[in-house]
Amino acid sequence: MDSKVFLPVILMLILLVQAPLAAQSNLLNARVPQDVAELNEAQIAANDESPLAYGYVDDRDVLWSKTIWEIIDLDERINYPFYYPTDTFNLAKDRRSLFDVLKLNLGKGRVKEVYDSPYFNNKLTYEEILEGLSFIDTLDLGIEQLNNGEPVSPEYINRRRITAAEIEQYRIKGTWYFDKRLGELRYRLLGICPVAKDIASVTDEAELVELFWIWFPDAREILNKYKVFNARNSSQPITFDAMLNARRFNSVIYKEENVYEDRTIENYISKDALRQLLESERIKSVIRDFEQDMWNN
């Protein structure tokens, strides 16, 4: 066999042998349903992988950089892996939406760098995060009971809580930079934020609000432990960390760092969705063309 053909075949076989059956761990060896996703010691040791560490980047090696903010719209089919499943009770334990993964590990204290804005100035406690995810409204009859000095009946208290099903977008912040030592344009994801309609509003026209911003490098270890469903091959899922770092999603730029206090595109192009989209594409082109121009000049 020709060596040019033989080498790719060998590499493919190695990958197939080494790849774990992660979508339904222990599925083929389970004696009872409860054994599914329960790993033995050897499997735990084999799956104990840390996310691929970022290489050190010296400030002197950064020839050019631009920080941008983007929207990942969960209505788009390509972005469904970040939204589903919204119901984790009737599915395998290792299948969760990105919001469920973040919320679960925030509660366990595994993700600690959480802030109220993409500038990461004011840190949030877990109690403050929960406050933003829930809303308690007292109906008019309940207010009458309060005014009369009576305890409010439970049926007159309306409790609402944001779940994975209410998440409509993710907003991300990242920096594109040209590493002159490597001679290439690279991207570094800095922050991620789930977005949902204002829970205090009862109308469908409620505005979207940012729930909290997570410093992405702090969440990488956790996101690398949870797999995204692969519709083409359930035995070969990919982690949330790898999905986000590889930019396997569709997004629209809504802001870039600028002299006007980092104003959004909507601030200077209002009420014209087409022109806003064209401006987003223009910013993408500036970033994409920079590397090309480096080699053409």
Lookup: tokens for 241: 């960390």
Q: Do residues 192 and 114 touch, judged by C-beta distance below 8 A?
A: no
Burial of 282 (0-12, 13-18, 19+ CB in 10 A): exposed
Answer yes or no: do 104 and 233 share one domain: yes
Residue 216 makes CB contacts below 8 A (sequence gap 6+) with 172, 189, 190, 191, 192, 244
Answer yes or no: do 90 and 124 share one domain: yes
The residue type found at 9 is: V
The boundaries of the domain holding residue 28 are: 1-48
- The gap from C-alpha 172 to its chain's centroid, in whole angstroms, comes to 8
104 in a structural domain: yes
246 in a structural domain: yes
Number of domains in the chain: 2
Answer yes or no: do 20 and 88 share one domain: no
153 in a structural domain: no
134 in a structural domain: no
Answer yes or no: do 89 and 34 share one domain: no
For residue 153, count other CB atoms closer than 10 A to its CB: 11
Answer yes or no: do 69 and 40 share one domain: no
For residue 218, count other CB atoms closer than 10 A to its CB: 14
272 in a structural domain: yes
- pLDDT digits over 194-239, tens only? 999 988 776 777 899 999 999 999 999 999 999 888 888 877 888 9
141 in a structural domain: no
Answer yes or no: do 124 and 178 share one domain: yes
- Alpha-carbon distance 235 to 224, whole Å? 16
Answer yes or no: do 103 and 184 share one domain: yes
17 in a structural domain: yes
What mean pLDDT do residues 235-254 have?
Answer: 92
- pLDDT digits over 3-55, tens only? 444 444 444 444 444 444 344 566 666 666 656 666 666 555 555 568 888 88
SS3 140: helix
Answer yes or no: do 71 and 120 share one domain: yes
Answer yes or no: do 101 and 222 share one domain: yes
Give the pTM. Answer: 0.81
Question: How confident is the model at residue 19, as a pLDDT?
Answer: 42
In terms of DSSP H, where are the helices of 88-167?
98-107, 126-133, 140-147
Integer-rounded Cα Rg, in Å, for the chain is: 23
95 in a structural domain: yes
Answer yes or no: do 98 and 183 share one domain: yes
Answer yes or no: do 174 and 42 share one domain: no
Answer yes or no: do 66 and 41 share one domain: no
- pLDDT digits over 75-130, tens only? 999 999 999 988 776 666 678 899 999 999 999 999 999 999 999 999 999 999 99
